[in-house]
Structure 1
Amino acid sequence: MFYLLLFMIGIAAGTLGSLVGLGGGIITVPALIYLNRVFPEVFEISPQVAVGTSLIVIIFTGLSSTLSYMKLQKVDYRSGFIFFIGSGPGGIVGAWLNSYFNVETFLLYFGIFMLFVSTLLMLRNRIKPLEVKPGKHTITNNYTDHHGVEKMYGYHPPIAIIISFFVGMIGGLFGVGGGALMVPAMLLLFAFPPQIAVATSMLMILLSSITSSIAHISMNNIDWLLALILVPGAWFGGKLGVYINSKLESNTIVIILRIALLIIGFRLIYQGIS
């Protein structure tokens, strides 16, 4: 029964992660820490091991969903690899910083971080994206929204790399893959359409989770048995999330993302101070 529960957690993490581009760590990490408190006789897991194990699972969620988004032609490959230039090294730094957190501090800061991102999304329509004009030092793309109106999104690569470095650091620190911050950044700062932002985020998450995982493996922060049970569910959930994403309106995706971050943020803060 316990292993079936872990499998279901994998499905939930993979589905939500690929649906809104989070990677699934916002489900896996708090779930593992919570189960450790409820079933201490079954296994003992530290925040560091929860994060490291989550990142291994996110690799497979990222691979599963990225392959599916590729078939739907939603992935901006160039942007994904540019973001990885920053998020890869950032993930390694985050993995190193993770070793300095205890359980209560970890949960508290993780929860505050989730609420912060959710608040940003709530103010999304009031935040004006950075002005980007086609030119030699900018990257821009055009897309047509569901009303048939052609729009442009884009960014300055140096700014994007700096932001993605901190995104990767957050991912390596909290085991969330970085999408919890990168998707809002793409939506708010670079005017990405939500479905392109989610798909491109999953590509970046796949790449940065690999580098972060290597750092956590070197520090023995992986519970391989837990990862083995979680991965099949996360793989299936990754494909399910892509399917659901393709059926939803863009604003619906943002609303789901915001609600998910709010609920989990409050829950983590409660766990951290109780």
Structure 2
Amino acid sequence: MEYVLLAVIGLCSGIIGALVGLGGGAILVPATLFIGLTLGMIPELTPQKVVGISVVMMIATGLASTLSYMKSKTIDYRSGFIFFIGSVPGTILGAYVNKGIDLPSFNLYFGILLIILAIILLIRDHIKPVQWFVKHGKEQTFIDPKDGKTYVYGYPIWFALLLTFGIGFASGLFGIGGGSMIVPAMIILFLFPPHVAVATSMFMVFLSSIVNSVSHIYFGHVPWLYTIAVIPAAYIGAKIGAALNQKINSNTLVLILRIILLILGIRSIYEGLF
């Protein structure tokens, strides 16, 4: 029964993660912690093992999404590689720090992060884009094939490396893909077109998840039997999510996601404190 539940969680994580560029970990980690530890259905799981499942899953979701976005030609490969380079040392450091976190502390810190992510998603459409980073970085252009609109975006490389180091640390520590943080930054700070931001984010998630997974495998955090149940479902979900991204407006889903992250964050903080 637990394998079926994990597969369903993996499918939903893949769909939502690819659709809005999250990577899926922000859905899988709290959901798996809830059924595994709170409900006691998989008592042998620990926060470290749940993070291990999540980071390996994100290789599948990142790969599936990247293959889909390659066809639509919305990936900025140069930016994806730069963001990946910045995230690698942070990812390794986060995986190392994860070893020493107990369940209450993990719940508390993860809950705070979820609420921060929910707030970012809540305000990202109401924040005026920042022009400074584009002016002080290398400008790039993208012509949206749907409406012919031209976007000009860019960023200073040094700032992108610092930003993605912090995002990589959170990814390694909590098993989230990093897309939930980098996508708003790309749109608000660097003026990326939304579809390019999501596609490039999933490309970076794919690359960084490989490093993240190797780190957690080295530290013995990956329960392979449970992970194998998640991977194919997450891969299928990511293909579905990437296809939907090209066809629908994701505002409704993002609104639902904000509410879910707030609820999960509050519950996680409560469990961490009490």
Output the TM-score relative to the length of structure 1. Answer: 0.91
Query: Secondary structure, in 3 states, of the residue corresponding to 2:246?
Result: helix
Tell me the CA shift for residue 89 of structure 1: 1.6
1:258 paired to 2:258: yes
Cross-structure match for 2:63: 63
Q: Is the alpha carbon distance of 1:41 and 1:20 closer, same or farther for their aligned partners in structure 2, counting shifts above 3 Å? A: closer
The one-letter code of the counterpart of 1:76 is: D
CA distance in 2, matches of 1:89, 1:198: 23
The 1-side partners of 2:195 and 2:139 are apart by 19
Partners in 1 of 2:144 and 2:40 — Cα distance?
52
**Is contact 1:194–1:254 with CA below 8 Å preserved after alignment?**
no
Is 1:129–2:130 an aligned residue pair? yes
Partners of 2:90 and 2:172 within 8 A in 1: yes
Q: Which amino acid aligns with 1:165?
A: F
Contact 2:127 2:188 in 1 (8 A): no
State yes or no: 1:106 paired with 2:106. yes
Hey, what does 1:22 align to over in structure 2? 22
CA distance in 1, matches of 2:184, 2:103: 27
1:229 and 1:44 map into 2 onto residues whose CA distance is: 16
C-alpha distance after superposition, 1:72-101 (max 9, x if no partner): 111111110110010112110110111221
CA contact (8 A) 1:194 1:250 kept: no
Q: Deviations over 1:133-153 (max 9, x none)?
A: 568x52422334865442311
**Quick one: percent identity of the two aligned structures?**
45
Gaps of 5+ in 2: none
SS at the partner of 2:109? helix
Q: Helix, strand or coil for the counterpart of 2:142?
A: strand
Count of matched residue positions in the alignment of Structure 1 and Structure 2: 273
Task: Kindly indicate whether the alpha-carbon contact (under 8 Å) linking 1:127 and 1:188 is maintained by their aligned counterparts in 2.
Answer: yes
Structure-1 separation of matches of 2:13 and 2:42: 21
Unmatched 5+ stretches in structure 1? none
Matched, 1:273 2:273: yes
Q: Does 2:52 correspond to 1:52? A: yes
Tell me, yes or no, if structure 1 residue 242 matches structure 2 residue 234: no
Once residues 9 and 202 of structure 2 are traced to their aligned partners in structure 1, the CA distance between those partners, rounded to angstroms, is 19
For the residues of structure 2 that align with 1:112 and 1:145, how far apart are their CA atoms? 39
Q: TM-score, normalised by structure 2?
A: 0.91
Match of 2:218 in 1: 218
